[in-house]
Amino acid sequence: METTLSAEPLVEMRDLAFAYDRKRPILSGINLTIPKGKLVAIMGGSGSGKTTLLRLIGGQLRATSGEVKVAGNSLTTMSRADLYKMRRSMGMLFQFGALFTDLTVFENVAFPMREHTDLPESAIRDLVLLKLNAVGLRGAANLMPSELSGGMARRVALARAVALDPMLMMYDEPFTGLDPISLGVIGSLIRSLTDALGATSIMVTHDIVESLQIVDHIYFLSEGKIVAEGSPDEIRASADPFVHQFVHAQADGPVRFHMKAKPFAEELGLGVSI
């Protein structure tokens, strides 16, 4: 798998910082580049700012300082109308699929086509079946979301996310709650659809094993900062303490198992150390 990031960038962040208020800084000093046609993972512990990065790229949030560019356009100064127009070329797979529960599988995938295009129903029908076939679920077109397994629901959500052939795909924890078979299927689909569509993909995930098999590049976040980046091979071989702890699922390291507290013996009122 090619891992170079020399391709033309689609997403750029420069000296980016974000805070909900002055007392709650979330991200600071973020510099990253997501090249066209690549699948890039953003990893880190819970609360490190990964999903916030996706929201900044999608324009749901505005940077406190610094700049976010998508396809050469600055989201910092973009008007609301231009932002909505750009979002039509973005796809999003939410953590648990977020299917419309009162619509069939077919209607879920057709929804963005009807919302954002003037295509005739005959064309929409063919495109929906094409997208469902790509994720192996053309036979489930008439089922309701309640009739699907977790893995099937995630695949339908993926078909809906790529319904308009987006230039940018974003995945927020796409492997959460999946069994090993479904997880492998979703990982394979993310890689194959990225390549088939020529799309650029950004994946927020905790799943090290699956991610290292399919991504081109990885950024590691810790406490709102990028602490490491590299190809899968570079990440596996990294001597950085945080990366090593994360990749090898070690209980203790830079991320401490024990929260800072008084000495245990002092808490218990004992005169000896424990």
pLDDT truncated to tens, each residue of the chain (274 aa)?
A: 344 455 688 999 999 999 887 667 888 899 999 999 899 999 877 777 788 888 899 888 888 889 999 988 888 888 888 888 888 888 888 876 688 899 999 999 999 999 888 999 999 999 999 999 988 899 999 999 999 988 889 889 999 998 888 889 999 888 887 788 888 888 888 898 888 888 899 999 887 878 888 999 999 888 888 888 888 888 888 777 777 777 766 666 656 555 577 777 777 777 655 5
Q: Residues spanned by CATH 3.40.50.300 within the chain? A: 1-89+167-183+194-239
Q: At what angle do helices 105-116 and 150-161 cross, to 10 degrees?
A: 20
Q: Which two tokens stand for residue 37?
A: 């046609």
Cα–Cα–Cα angle for 261, 262, 266, rounded to 5 degrees: 150
Burial class of 257 by CB neighbour count within 10 A (0 to 12, 13 to 18, 19+): exposed
1-89+167-183+194-239: CATH superfamily: P-loop containing nucleotide triphosphate hydrolases (3.40.50.300)
Burial class of 162 by CB neighbour count within 10 A (0 to 12, 13 to 18, 19+): buried
